[in-house]
Amino acid sequence: MRIVLVGPPGAGKGTQAAFLAKNLSIPHISTGDLFRANISQQTELGKLAKSYMDAGNLVPDEVTIGMAKDRMAQADAENGFLLDGFPRNVSQAEALDEALKADGQKLDAVLDLEVPEDEVVKRIAGRRICRNDSSHVFHVTYSPPKQQDVCDVCGGELYQRGDDKEETVRKRLDVYHRETEPIIDHYKAQGLVVTISALGKVDEVTQRAMSALQGESA
Ligand code: AP5
Ligand code: MG
């Protein structure tokens, strides 16, 4: 399956993607995680991305689209993928449509995670991620690690993302409403959007997402 996950910052895209990718045997491709890996490896791409991410803005399409396409072209994504955080504006969505069409492929679904803004703020405020791999995600209250500040998956140190400061979160939410939400209409016109509530326990949301993707009522 080829799936796009969409939803505001802190909706639980990364958290759900980890479970859905496992259940569906497809790779989880997060442009945010790819940028954070470049930042920790201090690449030129990482230095450029950091200046935009720290301000809560989108990294320019010129670099983002190429990076996402390179990742999707890797062997493990041949039979499908779960995109998290890409596309994030209409021009990225159009670039993805074109790239898939050129390969004779298409998306199967766009899963839209709905969460009220006050819940998103609570989720982001308590989020801690791993220094070794930013796809290892915890929450101080909702998904605490077994040992404080230590990653359950790999033993890495947990920390708070630099763009999770309150004023940056507000900016990211504005950018989401202005630039990312329009992709939902873009994909509704293609009949691809399934919307679910992302409230409730992590495993309940995963169940709801799996049912929705299997075409059952969620
Ligand atoms: P990115 O890393 O994609 O961040 P985001 O979209 O803002 O989303 P988040 O990662 O903040 O939230 P999430 O939905 O993944 O939530 P999570 O699962 O962690 O992007 C960061 C930046 O990179 C962007 O601002 C931009 O600068 C740049 N960028 C990335 N892609 C780009 C693109 N395509 N174009 C241009 N720029 C791009 O969950 C949040 C917390 O809630 C966690 O602590 C988790 O444990 C907890 N939680 C999850 N589910 C539940 C639940 N059901 N109940 C209780 N707690 C829960
Ligand atoms: Mg994420």
**112-149 b/e with 16+ CB inside 10 Å = b?**
bbebeeeebeebbbbbbbbeebbbbbbbeeebebeeee
pLDDT at 199 > cutoff 80: yes
Q: How far is the CA of 94 from the centre of ligand 1 (A)?
A: 22
d(CA 112, CA 120) in angstroms, rounded, equals 14
> What pLDDT is recorded for position 166?
87
Write the residue with the smallest CA distance to atom 29 of ligand 1. 32
Average pLDDT rounded to a whole number, residues 3-18: 97
- Is the separation of the CB atoms in 35 and 43 below 8 Å? no
For tokens 């890996």, name the residue.
Answer: 37
d(CA 83, CA 61) in angstroms, rounded, equals 16
Give the distance between the most distant pair of CA atoms in the chain.
Answer: 48
| Closest ligand (CA of 169) | 1
Q: Is residue 71 among the annotated active site residues?
A: no
The CATH number given to whatever domain includes residue 152 is 3.40.50.300
> What pLDDT is recorded for position 218?
40
Average pLDDT rounded to a whole number, residues 137-147: 96
d(CA 62, CA 210) in angstroms, rounded, equals 33
Average pLDDT rounded to a whole number, residues 189-207: 97
> What pLDDT is recorded for position 215?
80
Query: How many distinct structural domains can be found in the chain?
Result: 1
Averaged pLDDT score across all residues of the chain: 96
Q: Is residue 172 among the annotated active site residues?
A: yes
Q: What is the pTM of this model?
A: 0.96
Annotated binding site: 10-15, 31, 36, 57-59, 85-88, 92, 127, 137-138, 161, 172, 200
Average pLDDT rounded to a whole number, residues 36-42: 96
pLDDT at 217 > cutoff 70: no
Give the tens place of pLDDT for each residue, 97-106. Answer: 999 999 999 9
Give the tens place of pLDDT for each residue, 148-166. Answer: 999 999 999 999 999 999 8
Write the residue with the smallest CA distance to atom 44 of ligand 1. 127
Average pLDDT rounded to a whole number, residues 177-204: 97
> What pLDDT is recorded for position 216?
47
Which residue range is the domain that position 211 belongs to? 2-217
